[in-house]
Amino acid sequence: MRAAARLLIVLALAVAPLSPAPAAVAAIGGPLVDQDFPDPDVVRVGDAWYAYATNEDEVNIQVARSTDLRTWEVLPVDALPDLGPWADPDWYFRPGDRGVWAPDVSVRDDGTLVLYYTAHNRDPQAQCIGVATSSSPTGPFTPVGAAPLVCPVADGGAIDPASYAEDGRRYLLWKNDGNCCGRDTWLHLQPTSADGLTLTGPATRLIRQDRAFEGALVEAPTLWRHDGRYVLFYSANSFADDRYLTSYATSASLTGPYDKAPNPLLTTATTDGSVRGPGGQDVVTGPDGRDRIFFHGWDPGYAYRGWHSAELGWADGLPVVRGSRVRYEAERGELTGLARTRGAPGASDGRVVGYIDDAGSSVTVRVFAARAGGHTLAVRFANGSGTGASHTLAVNGVGAGTVDYPDTGWDAWSEVRRGVTLAEGWNTLRFGKGAWWAELDAVDVS
């Protein structure tokens, strides 16, 4: 089995970083936009980047602008001041929220900008998707058509449009809003005309909610192609709290079948709580040619969803987000000397490595870094040999000090955290005999 296929996301345990080892690194910083700016969609127009977000305080579609993808200014405009004639002007999801959600903007070959948006249909009542166009990234966008573009009322309506194009063909991804009314939620792919204004064929169902971590829904599709593989990013679970998350599925074919990752890509826990409910994601390639993922997350008081970003790497074609924990099981590493695996109740995958008891004993684990630089290791261990136990650590063959363990007792699994400098891509971590004895369960990298 390839190493990338064995990546497991893990829940966090908070333990203070160790000294004098390098400090743990917070790779996902504070919000780019520290106000309500959920469901961000980012597009490049000329020398600038524009981001579009869900409605806020009677502004149907918010707009922000940046020249470097790092510093953003929220503009005093409403990109879509007027909704299509099919939208109910008197319907509100809650005060100030007219249900104009998760917009998507793309640029046609002729320079026209196409906006897909969600709004509430007059009759029959349901959330549906409309389309609008503009010659300017700040709008105003003009609605097209007397009826919504996508409105499967029997399936609960439609939300979360996302455009995709390849080989001169355009497509629209969307979610049927089944969780509104006790139905399944599916992410769909549907072909459109070259101008993006009409549908030209039936929708194909890609994935639905069928994992425990997804709760009652999947939504917010983003389709990305990397090295010939289709990667369908999506959000899942309740948007209202820490359960919201980002995951992905992959396929060799545009229309599937898509295979879901065994565990989410971004959660509140994998970011060590630095982002609460990370979702509503979008992926872009920056001016440096590197990929980034954008997503929203709740503020500490759960009053609004600010907007964050992180560096995105590809471990043998599978996405890895810098700052979101990925677990590597020690028992799947390369063992030398006396080191051997054993079954262990309470261990993350049911087995651990012990007997790292002499100078020739070690376990080497391959780990992936989305970018070169500082990263955080969270080493899961048990130590019943007393205080002062440690393992030596080498990174890519170079000594990096020790990992020191408090006394926990045997089979009492805990973790210690420390900073480490990694190269971009695959790295090796070698844990060898230090002081006394400890058993190694797994290593998380973020």
Quick: pLDDT tens for 80-109. Answer: 999 999 999 899 998 888 999 999 999 999
Indicate the residue among 262, 289, 324 that finishes a domain.
Answer: 324
To which residue do tokens 């924990």 refer?
325
Co-location of 247 and 336 in the same domain: no
- At 8 the pLDDT is 34
Three-class SS state of 241: coil
Residues in the chain with pLDDT values less than 70: 1-26
303 Cβ partners below 8 Å, 6+ apart?
none
Indicate the residue among 303, 324, 345 that finishes a domain.
Answer: 324
Q: What is the pTM of this model?
A: 0.93
Q: Taking the alpha carbons of 235, 237, 238, 241 in that order, is the dihedral positive or negative? A: negative
Question: What's the order of all strands across the beta sheet hosting 48-53?
Answer: 41-45, 48-53, 62-66, 73-74
Q: Taking the alpha carbons of 106, 112, 118, 121 in that order, is the dihedral positive or negative? A: negative
Buried (b) or exposed (e) across 39-77, using 16+ Cβ within 10 A?
A: bbbbbbeeeebbbbbbbbeebbbbbbbbeebeebebbeb
- At 446 the pLDDT is 96
156 is a domain residue: yes
* Domain of 203, in residue numbers: 41-324
32 is a domain residue: no
Mean of pLDDT over the chain: 93
Q: Per-residue pLDDT tens for 335-352? A: 999 999 999 999 999 999
412 is a domain residue: yes
- What CA dihedral angle connects 294, 51, 372 and 233, to 10 degrees? 30
Co-location of 311 and 356 in the same domain: no
36 is a domain residue: no
Q: What percent of the chain has pLDDT over 90?
A: 91
Co-location of 307 and 375 in the same domain: no
Q: What's the CA gap between 104 and 148, in Å, rounded? A: 15
2 is a domain residue: no
Co-location of 341 and 215 in the same domain: no
* Rg, C-alpha atoms of the chain: 24
Bridge partner list, 305: 298
- At 218 the pLDDT is 98
Q: What's the CA gap between 90 and 234, in Å, rounded? A: 30
